[in-house]
Structure 1
Amino acid sequence: MMMDLSAQMMQATVQLEQPLGDGTRTVGTGFLITETTADGKPHTILVTANHVFDKMPGANARVGYRIANADGSWSYSPQSLKIRDAQGHALWTHHPTRDVAAIAITAPATFAKAAIPEDYLAQDDTFSKYDVTSGDQMMTLGFPRGLAANSAGFPILRAGRVASYPIAPAKIFPTFLLDFSVFPGNSGGPVFMSGPSRHALDANGQGGQDVEFIAGLLTQQVELNSERLDIGIVTNARFIRETIALIKDPGAPVTEVAADEGSISGAKAASAEEAARPE
């Protein structure tokens, strides 16, 4: 039985922030993945865009956890996460060629339970298996300009259509375009498919097979001559998998990208560097 990935991603996605001491803050989005270690124990990994952490100069970030109360309400309860050591060196792992970061964390029990199994990250054949192509709708979660959906700190769900072709294989097309309005604060948010596919057939050969997978993460918005084009750049989930593997083994193999066909002139990182704190 497949999980309701949309609802689960809501639970697993968090705001990342670091106050800059002048009433402003750097803001981005992250989400939790769980993997099983060699000894069979679950391991919680926080995934985001590398530039989100890289633009945070301090040693500690804040992770926007949420607590469910007995009366059905929620409380926003951010907790500190150490991202740099005393010498200022990064404690997270980043992909050597892609804008992806991951760090092992100890999350509150409810959040560790909400983390998405690593198996939901798209594999090399996922796009072809489900005939994912231009025009297909994907969803993404984030905190545009540091704004949450409510006082509990849940992310804002947006949707857009795949706006480029082709989008696979990842070793040739490591990124693809998504047609939706991107704002500072969206960087690092998950991009996923959840629901019936336009193309994939079910066991009876009928259309509309349910598809549930994480396609990648939002890393940039596209600008041309300082004008936002309402297009997001998504980094393929393959590079999330590789970054997680590097946590366990810094010598793990990574994809040698033959030609970055997905690169866009004028692309701009979408983390909210020095974003004003919303009222």
Structure 2
Amino acid sequence: MAWDLSVDLIKATVQLEQPLGNGTRTVGTGFLIDAPTPDGKPRTVLVTAAHVFDRMPSVEARIGYRIQNSDGAWRYDPRPLTIRDEAKAPIWTRHPTRDVAAIVIQAPEEFAKAAIPLSWLAQDDTFTQYALGPGDEMMALGFPRGLAANQAGFPILRSGRVASYPLAPSSVFPTFLLDFSVFPGNSGGPVFMAEGARRRPGATEAQEVQFVAGMLTQQVELSGERLEIGIVTHARFIRETVAMIDGVIPPAAPTPDLPATSTTAASTGTHTEP
């Protein structure tokens, strides 16, 4: 039976928020990764866009867990998440050149089980391996303007077409464009490929193509106008950020993002409390 990456990622994706004390809150998206320690001990890592945490000045944020009751119904159960020390210094790990952050968390057992394996994130050659390019459809999960799919707090699933070329290598093209509307609250959400049947170059049979391509980190703006194009940071940099928790230093910084003529704006934002 085919596995469903969409459902697995929905379960692993959470809303991140922090009240700002004036009736508003800042909201973003994150997702959980199962990333064991070097000695094999289980470990759950939350990843999101670094600017999501940057815009949360207090020591604690809230992470939007969902709990399934004995009758099968789900309820939203946000819990405190410490993101800064007592001096309000960040305790998350930040990638040195990309808008990616990672932090080890103690998730409820149900959520620890929902964390996706690190191996599901695209490798540097994944796009080339499957001949992915402009026009291919990818999915994105998030909480646009803090909106969830339902009262249980599940993320909203949307789709868009790859809008840039080429996609590899990530050392030269660390981000790519996705044609869909980006809203405050989408930052940090996973972008993934979930195609039921695709024939690789030179192959005679079609196969499933399912992997996490990257993380939504920005939107494209030009002269103050939103172009309804999202900027996706390659999964390679999520992998590198998780590895940094264990002291692994990423390789030298890649070249600047493209297109160079566009300005970009962070897609997290401030929202009125419901």
Report the AA paired with residue 219 of structure 2.
Q
Name the % identity.
Answer: 63
Match of 2:58 in 1: 58
Which amino acid is 1:190 matched to?
P
Please give the alpha-carbon distance, in whole angstroms, between the structure 2 residues aligned to 1:3 and 1:61.
Answer: 33
TM-score scaled by structure 2? 0.96
**Aligned mates of 1:264, 1:109 — CA distance in 2:** 46
Residue 245 of structure 2: SS of its match in structure 1?
helix
Contact 1:174 1:262 in 2 (8 A): no
What does 1:22-37 align with in structure 2 at a 5 Å threshold?
Answer: 22-37=22-37
Report the alpha carbon displacement of residue 92 of structure 1 after superposing the two structures with TM: 0.2
Write the distance in 2 (CA, Å) between the matches of 1:64 and 1:202.
44
Structure 2 equivalent of residue 84 of structure 1: 84
Q: 1:240 to 1:118 in 2, by over 3 A?
A: same
Going from structure 1 to structure 2, the CA distance change for 1:234 and 1:9 (only over 3 Å counts) comes to same
Distance 1:268 1:95, change over 3 A: same
Distance in 1 (alpha carbons) for counterparts of 2:114 and 2:51: 25
- Deviation, 1:192, is 0.4
Q: Distance in 1 between matches of 2:72 and 2:261?
A: 45
- Change beyond 3 A, Cα 1:102–1:66: same
2: distance between equivalents of 1:155 and 1:264?
Answer: 32
SS in 1 for 2:195: strand
CA distance in structure 2 between the partners assigned to 1:263 and 1:153 by the alignment: 37
Query: What is the letter of the counterpart of residue 209 of structure 2?
Result: V
| Cα pair 1:2 1:212 within 8 Å, conserved | no
Aligned counterpart, 1:161: 161
Alpha-carbon distance in 1 for matches of 2:261, 2:114: 34
The Cα shift of 1:105 comes to: 0.4
Q: CA RMSD in A?
A: 1.6
The answer to whether 1:265 aligns with 2:262 is yes
Letter in 2 for 1:233: I
Q: Which amino acid aligns with 2:221?
A: E
What is the 5 A alignment of 1:211-230?
211-230=209-228
**Counterpart position of 1:276:** 272
- Counterpart AA for 2:210: E
Q: Distance in 2 between matches of 1:171 and 1:262?
A: 15
1:20 aligned partner: 20
Pairwise mapping of residues 177-188 of structure 1 onto structure 2 (< 5 A)? 177-188=177-188
Aligned to 2:205: 206
Aligned counterpart, 2:195? 195
Following the alignment from structure 1 to structure 2, what is the Cα–Cα distance between the partners of residues 17 and 147? 12
Amino acid aligned to 1:275: H
| Rounded Cα–Cα distance in structure 2 between residues aligned with 1:154 and 1:264 | 36
Q: Which amino acid aligns with 1:78?
A: P
Pairs within 5 Å for 1:95-174? 95-174=95-174
Give the superposition deviation at 1:259: 4.3
2:251 alignment partner, SS class: coil
Tell me the secondary structure at the aligned position of residue 248 of structure 1.
coil
- Give the alignment partner of residue 249 of structure 2, picking from 218, 238, 252: 252
Question: Contact 2:59–2:88 at 8 Å: present in 1 too?
Answer: yes
**Number of paired residues?**
274
What is the distance in 1 between the residues matched to 2:202 and 2:73?
39
SS in 2 for 1:8: helix
TM-score, normalised by the number of residues in structure 1: 0.94
Q: Deviation at 1:2?
A: 6.3
2:237 is matched with 239
Q: Deviations over 1:134-165 (max 9, x none)?
A: 10000000000000000000000000000000
